Amino acid sequence: MTTSTVFERKDFLSDQEPRWCQGCGDYGILKGFSTALSKIGISPEKFVIVSGIGCSSRFPHYTSAYGFHSIHGRAPAIATGIKLSRPDLSVWVITGDGDGLSIGGNHFIHMMRRNPDIKLVLLNNRIYGLTKGQISPTSPQGTKTKSTPYGSVDNRSTR
């Protein structure tokens, strides 16, 4: 008879206090993410979380899994290298709409094309939150920000 280890959400959280803006949805996503990891049945040291730049990319600091905070938009490429060298690990990319779909768009597309066993979680808040409000690739047309006071002219809706 074999016994399996049961993990709890707290097993996947680091001792670092999350630092996002008050009311940010990333708090809830971190809670759901750490809860989901605990239910997979794999120990924290078998997970790798790779991120780029932006609010979403703070995730490696807030988890007890191995983490890699990469350069802007390159998380999918780095995650692919990790998976190729360590196929036994569960590799996850945490990215945002700007990091993953703007500067990292081609890396995202090539990762999908290669189809490695990597999970990608995209936090889409439709705005560049870390830089305090420029439009992102998924901001709806007409979005008004400090840098687009007359509204975005691009048709970026996510319909």
* Domain that residue 54 falls in: 9-14+23-125
Whole-number pLDDT of residue 1: 46
Domain count, the chain: 1
Q: What is the pTM of this model?
A: 0.88
Q: 3-state class of 31 per DSSP?
A: helix
Classify residue 72: in a domain, yes or no.
yes
85 domain residue, yes or no: yes
For position 67, what pLDDT does the model report? Answer: 94
Please state the rounded mean pLDDT for residues 84-93.
97
d(CA 26, CA 19): 10
Q: Indicate the pLDDT class of residue 5, thresholds 50, 70 and 90.
A: confident
- Find tokens 């990333």 and name the residue: 26
Residue 138 counted as domain residue: no
Is 117 part of a structural domain of the chain?
A: yes
Pick from 9, 30, 8: nearest CA to 19: 30
Q: d(Cα 149, Cα 5) in Å, to the nearest integer?
A: 54
pLDDT number for residue 45: 95
Q: What is the mean pLDDT of residues 101-119?
A: 91
Residue 114 to residues 32, 101, 110, 135, Cα–Cα distance (Å) = 28, 17, 6, 30
- Convert the pLDDT of each residue in 26-48 to its tens digit: 999 999 999 999 999 999 999 99
Q: Is residue 131 part of a domain?
A: no
Q: What is the CATH number of the domain that holds 101?
A: 3.40.50.970
C-alpha to C-alpha distance for 15 and 81, rounded to whole angstroms: 28
Task: Answer whether residue 2 is part of any domain.
Answer: no
**HSE value, Cβ hemisphere, 13 Å, CA-based, for 147:** 9
Is residue 62 situated within a structural domain?
A: yes
- Mean pLDDT in the chain? 89
Whether residue 11 contacts residue 38, with contact meaning beta carbons closer than 8 Å, is answered with: yes
